[in-house]
Homo-oligomer: A and B are copies of this chain.
């Protein structure tokens, strides 16, 4: 199974505050018909931090049943402690995950020196029954893993890739240049998907792919066909919506946009909120203008 292409970090649907299994299944039915190469379950956009253990397990179970074996299933398994991370990673492995995405622990920011993080990832990789991908997301964690350290980690046979959501293309570029051949570098920020591909990224794990999988896949296809001007234009058209459903309006905005695009989004869990009608109006317009551009 080649680690590449476009994957959405899937949202977790709730109804009346409870995990809505059927809604998740119906989303998968739609996603599976697109060119997505796989899925990230229990990522940030999956509100993993708002799920208890039972709900996390249920979500992985449903996902495993819904995802065809021809597509990749990554599961977010990073916890603050090394031991818990190992435990949950192997639980995900047992449940059929193809790989685990492990975030940098970050609560004690001041103590998370590079060597501490290095040792953490090596310890997890040593004990994990599946390959792990590093998850670098400084805007949430306040911690950035430098390219030199990523390159070192890429030498471990069980550390098979990274999702870098910093949006920093210079950094991504260095990670790719310095890391071992075959190390799968995914960009986690849709507004820089096209330039990430230019510098050699294997693909993107993109929030906006929850609602516009084809638009994301199209950028990668155009890139691979060397139609750079078209790819760049597609990127330019996608960016305003990509910004709106992440940085600007958060997961509430992402779920609202999914509802508008024909998927089930629903409400996020408190303290997050569904945005108001002005944001709905804004998202509608962004979707319409994107559709017009595409025709």
Contact = CB atoms under 8 A, between A and B. Distances in A.
A189 B170 contact: yes
Contact of A239 (B83, B111, B177, B195): B177
Given A236-B177, A272-B108, A191 B170 contact: yes
Q: For the complex formed by this chain, how many copies does it contain in all? A: 4
A175 to B, nearest CB: 11
A167 B169 CA distance: 8
Contacts of A4: none
Contact of A272 (B52, B111, B199): B111
Given A82-B270, A272-B116, A140 B108 contact: yes
A76 interface: no
Interface in A243-273: 247, 250-252, 269-273
17 contacts: A44-B108, A49-B81, A52-B84, A105-B271, A108-B140, A110-B250, A116-B273, A119-B270, A123-B271, A142-B142, A170-B239, A173-B191, A173-B194, A173-B239, A195-B195, A199-B232, A226-B226
Interface of A: 17, 44, 49-50, 52, 80-84, 105, 107-112, 116-117, 119-120, 123, 139-140, 142, 167-170, 173-174, 177, 189, 191-192, 194-195, 198-200, 226, 228, 232, 235-236, 239, 247, 250-252, 269-273
